[in-house]
Amino acid sequence: MINYKKMSLVIMISLLTSCTSPKDAKKALESMGYTDIKMTGYSFFACADEDFYHTGFKAQNANGKTVEGVVCSGIFFKNSYVRFK
């Protein structure tokens, strides 16, 4: 017998994890001078509606301070941008 609750949970988790782009987010953060970058996963409601990727992070800035935020980007022809918490 199929357990629909478990199947729904698996589908939801897979959809949310597919809405991050750790490789592109790390590239954008490194180009801005951040180090010790750790991805924290999908960030709900952190980006604009037209952004597809919402990749959360923690990193060290140039002064050695830990910062948290999200790298937002679209699928086609849209640059990434960073929002800080």
- Write down the pLDDT at residue 12: 64
pLDDT at position 13 is: 59
Domain boundaries, given as residue ranges, for the chain: 4-84
Q: What is the dihedral of CA 76, 24, 57, 71, to 10 degrees?
A: -30
pLDDT of residue 18: 60
**pLDDT computed for residue 16 by the predictor:** 54
In this predicted structure, what is the pLDDT of residue 44?
Answer: 84
Single out the residue of 59, 51, 84 nearest to residue 70, CA to CA: 84
pLDDT of amino acid 25: 93
Cβ count within 10 A of residue 11: 10
Chunk the chain into consecutive blocks of 10 residues (it has 85) and report each block's average pLDDT, rounded to whole numbers.
71 63 92 96 88 94 96 82 93
User: What six digits make up the tokens of 54?
Assistant: 């919402």
